[in-house]
Amino acid sequence: MYLSELPNAPLWRKFTALIYDWLVLAAVCMGYGALVLFIQVNAFGKTFGEGEKGDFGTLGFLGLVLLIFAFYCFFWRRGGQTLGMRAWRLQIIANDGKKPSFLSCIIRGIIAPIGLGVFLLGYLWQLIDKDNQTLHDKLSRTRIILLPKDKK
């Protein structure tokens, strides 16, 4: 069976995969935060008084956003699956059934968080779409398919 013949994944599976990915990303972001703090203290001599909270600053925040963006783009391009997608048997493909292009991943990586942040409208689009796709699926010319269960 060709990948392009498989059905689009239901919305609830996409959300569960997203939660799995966020757990992985939480660990990655904590490591990034520790690295930024280490650099601030050791390279720039920044000190923090009692009760004072450190902050990333603009450059640190942009680095964090870039890290999250790169995480998704890397896995989408590499094998079409993040860890959460693998656990829930999901895979991202281009509409032609091939691996998504780098441009498609960039478009998806920009539109998906906006669709999530604006009252989930980008995701809820799937409930009314005739092709059962989210808004970022449509705009990036990709889709997330549900892979069949492995036969044992």
pLDDT in tens, 86-135: 999 999 999 999 999 999 999 999 999 999 999 999 999 999 999 999 99
Long-range contacts of 13-17 (CB under 8 A, 24+ apart): 13/88, 13/89, 13/90, 13/146, 14/90, 14/123, 14/134, 14/144, 15/123, 16/84, 16/88, 17/82, 17/84, 17/85, 17/87, 17/88, 17/90
Residue 134 near residue 13 (C-beta atoms within 8 A): no
Q: Where in the sequence is the domain holding 64, given as residue range(s)?
A: 3-146
**Does 151 reside within a domain?**
no
With 60 as the cut, is the pLDDT of residue 3 above it? Answer: yes
Average pLDDT over residues 50-76: 87
With 90 as the cut, is the pLDDT of residue 59 above it? Answer: no
**Does 152 reside within a domain?**
no
**Does 59 reside within a domain?**
yes
**Does 120 reside within a domain?**
yes
**Does 73 reside within a domain?**
yes
Number of domains in the chain: 1
Q: Is the pTM of this model over 0.75?
A: yes
**Does 34 reside within a domain?**
yes
With 60 as the cut, is the pLDDT of residue 35 above it? Answer: yes
**Does 131 reside within a domain?**
yes
With 60 as the cut, is the pLDDT of residue 1 above it? Answer: no
